[in-house]
Structure 1
Amino acid sequence: MRGRTTALIVTTAAVLTALSGCTEGSAPPAAGEGASRALTRAEQARVDQAEQRLIQGCMKRNGFRYWVEPPAGADTVRAFTNRFVQDDVEWAREHGYGGRLRKAFLAAKNHDPNLAYRKRLSPAERERFSDVLDGGSKTRMLSVRLPAGGAVRTLDGGCRHSARQKLFGDTKVYFRTDKIATNLVAVYTPEIRRDPRFAKGLDAWSRCMREAVGRGFAEPDAARAHARERAGGLSTSGAHAVEVELAVAEADCARKTSLRSTLSRLDREHGDPVRDRYADEITTSNRLKLAALREAKRLDLRG
């Protein structure tokens, strides 16, 4: 559907997000509501829900129905997070690589009431629905170049625009700073991959995997590809069991061989200079998100 952010050019660097609980490309949270800090996942979900409710009210005023979907759970969000290595043994033991969570989420998306409602509209009303939601043909397109190359863009009109303006203020500034602040890992990934400590940690992890499951994978992505290959044609429970076996071994080996701590150290050494370089964008993005959180709380209190 129109209005969704579209990647025009994507980078090929792998995402090396080894640290859990931190927003990619953001500085560590600072104490105090007034400080510039990244939102927690729960806080971000609250902002997202506020945006959806504002869109719902705007659509209703324009004669359309609009459903606010519940936020995805923390485990589902994690299942869609691109991590270089699985390092949480307990999570892997329960969810494997998150295959069942992703499948359930996508299945629910196939029953999105907004899509079903839009399909039932006449062609003319369907077009007007899209225009009201995202803006008409003359709506401006926001675009930003990413630090590692490529660009993202989105329509900035309709009810989406009014909702984001209510929460974040200047939607152009928010879009630019947010996309830069959350796409910094790809900038320094090549440096991490060239670091001898990365190769050493990966070799140790590979040897550990050979001992654990009888196969030494070049890197975690290869283990996940192997899991998908083995799971092909199996029942849901059988496929999950395969995922769990390899994911648990991957996480256990990441800890036993210190690959996890090595990645954490390399992220700080190679990533901190990049985050310093884009400190203004990170600070502005965090400040606007905190302002949006305060507005979301105010709207909740107002009922």
Structure 2
Amino acid sequence: MRVRGTPGPLRPGRRATVVIVTLAVALPLAASSIAAARPGPPSAGTASTSTSSADPGGPVPAEDRQILARAESLLTRDCMARAGFQLWLGTPPPADELLSFPYVVDDVEWARRHGFGSDLVATVDARRRADPNQRYVSGLPPERREAFLSALNGARPAGLEARLPSGGVMRRSADGCTSDAQRRLYGDLAEWYRSSKVVADLTYLRQRQVLADPAWTAALQPWARCLRQQGYTADTPERLRESVSTRGRADEIAAAVAEARCAQNGLAATTRALDARHGDELTAAYHQDVATRNRLEHGAIVRARAVVAAEHE
């Protein structure tokens, strides 16, 4: 399960941290950072929030995605219990933690509350340290800990494979409780694993393409001029963060507010347009993978609702 990394713009090659033993109800997170434009228009990995108007061929609505995540957590927990181990379910993070700014902070009110997100990173880290699953696994004897991880993830990462659009290959065991839960939900585990990893990688690839687009570079110039008028000399959001990284909280918030205000001079709109365009192009280029992921998720909803309903019986 992915957890957000340190604040700042997404760099090519950057990946979110993987926490092996944490089960959560929150939406699975694609590679991103807490701070750096509000999520852009819907793309390959973005779900609509309206159940009534859900497109059977499109992504499942956000509320259904939460049900899928909850059902997978419940099925994994029950599988681990049968193997003789305990797991505790997490809770969804607050709304501010779900906001992602992979390019530039463009929400002034968010910036006033969180700066570049260092407080949210600290909150996530504290939650991870307090996670009962982490404490439980850490307290197991070495041989039991190894057995726990094998029961959860399989003995070795083999059986499932996904070749990523950005390059490289991801592999995972087809055995273990994680795979068992996903097989029960999605049916065709190999196709689910492959298509879901490919679609998730499109988010990273889309953000990389936006940051490399000449239109993004051009839009940075008036943004940087606006920053200079407010006393900052950084020419990119990343360098602005670096310039205040060792300063106190007040300096972080002031810089983030300046970044967000200056983004209103055209950078935010350019970013949203580029994000949507590159997202549409990637969705078209990998339409078969996107369609497969969407089909399997829609097919799993009825099963997921039954699993969640049984939790309260």
Q: Normalising by structure 2, report the TM-score.
A: 0.79
SS of 1:249's equivalent in the other structure is helix
- 2:24 matched residue in structure 1: none
The code of the aligned residue for 1:258 comes to G
The code of the aligned residue for 1:205 comes to W
Percent of counterpart pairs with the same letter?
Answer: 32
Given that 2:103 and 2:271 are in contact with CA atoms closer than 8 Å, whether structure 1 keeps it comes out as: no
Pair 118,27 (structure 1): closer, same or farther in 2 beyond 3 Å? closer
1:218 matched to 2:235: yes
SS of 2:245's equivalent in the other structure is helix
Is the deviation greater in 68-77 or in 98-107?
68-77
After superposing on structure 2, the runs of 4+ consecutive aligned residues of structure 1 that deviate more than 6 Å are 13-17
Q: Residue deviations 1:219-262, cap 9 Å, x none? A: 1111112221223xxxxxxx2x222211111111111x111111
2:251 to 239, 242, 254: 242
Mapped partners of 1:67, 1:58: distance in 2: 13
1:153 to 158, 171, 187: 171
- 2:137 matched residue in structure 1: 118
- 1:259 matched residue in structure 2: 267
The code of the aligned residue for 2:262 comes to C
The code of the aligned residue for 2:98 comes to V
> How far did residue 66 of structure 1 move?
1.3
Structure possessing the higher relative contact order (Cα contacts under 8 Å, 6 or more residues apart): 1
Q: Which residues in structure 2 correspond to 1:1-303 (within 5 Å)? A: 11-12=12-13, 18=37, 20=39, 25-26=44-45, 29=48, 32-33=53-54, 35-78=56-99, 81=100, 83-137=102-156, 140-187=158-205, 192-193=210-211, 195-212=213-230, 214-231=231-248, 239=249, 241-255=250-264, 257-303=265-311
> How far did residue 160 of structure 1 move?
0.8
The code of the aligned residue for 1:145 comes to R
- 1:235 matched residue in structure 2: none
Q: Unpaired runs of 5+ in structure 2? A: 4-10, 15-30
> How far did residue 115 of structure 1 move?
2.2
Is the deviation greater in 201-210 or in 161-170?
161-170
Structure label with greater radius of gyration: 1
Q: Residue deviations 1:187-241, cap 9 Å, x none? A: 45666456543232100111111112x013121111112221223xxxxxxx2x2
SS of 2:143's equivalent in the other structure is helix
Given that 1:11 and 1:150 are in contact with CA atoms closer than 8 Å, whether structure 2 keeps it comes out as: no
Is the deviation greater in 115-124 or in 58-67?
115-124
Q: Which has the higher helix share?
A: 1
SS of 2:172's equivalent in the other structure is strand
Q: CA RMSD in A?
A: 3.1
> How far did residue 141 of structure 1 move?
4.3
The code of the aligned residue for 1:288 comes to L
Given that 1:22 and 1:28 are in contact with CA atoms closer than 8 Å, whether structure 2 keeps it comes out as: no
Given that 1:64 and 1:129 are in contact with CA atoms closer than 8 Å, whether structure 2 keeps it comes out as: yes
Given that 2:185 and 2:300 are in contact with CA atoms closer than 8 Å, whether structure 1 keeps it comes out as: yes
SS of 1:183's equivalent in the other structure is helix
Mapped partners of 2:78, 2:203: distance in 1: 37
Mapped partners of 1:168, 1:48: distance in 2: 12
Q: Normalising by structure 1, report the TM-score.
A: 0.81
